[in-house]
């Protein structure tokens, strides 16, 4: 858990403490189920690198002919620093208003 002034990032304890898991997530290019709790709402976020996201989108289009994703954050590389920085940036830029609460 990472606590900031305005929110708490949860569901990343294994990721935060396990270097092998960090390498696995980075090589897979995605991390799902990161929970961000504010004083008002909770948001479940998914993080992708652009390559993995494109692969998943292409697969979805072939299978369903459409794609709908919410609370997806694209990063150059899925790692703890980029995850925390992106959440910080979303908060500072007042972008949480556009996320779907859990």
Residue 56 pLDDT: 93
**Closest to 33 measured CA to CA, from 80, 86, 71:** 71
Model confidence over 40-98: pLDDT tens digits?
A: 999 999 999 999 999 999 999 999 999 999 999 999 999 989 999 999 999 999 999 99
Residue 24 pLDDT: 85
Residue 53 pLDDT: 95
Model confidence over 5-43: pLDDT tens digits?
A: 899 999 877 776 788 888 888 889 999 999 999 999 999
**Closest to 34 measured CA to CA, from 67, 79, 68:** 79
């Amino acid at each position: 858990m990472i606590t900031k002034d305005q929110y708490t990032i949860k569901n990343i304890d294994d990721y935060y403490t396990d270097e092998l898991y960090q390498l696995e997530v980075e090589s897979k290019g995605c991390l799902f189920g990161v929970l961000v709790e504010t004083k008002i709402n909770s948001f479940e976020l998914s993080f992708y690198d652009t390559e993995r996201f494109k692969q998943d989108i292409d697969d979805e289009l072939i299978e369903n002919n459409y794609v709908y994703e919410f609370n997806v954050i694209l990063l150059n590389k899925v790692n703890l620093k980029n995850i925390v920085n992106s959440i910080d940036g979303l908060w500072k830029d007042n972008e949480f208003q556009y996320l779907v609460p859990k």
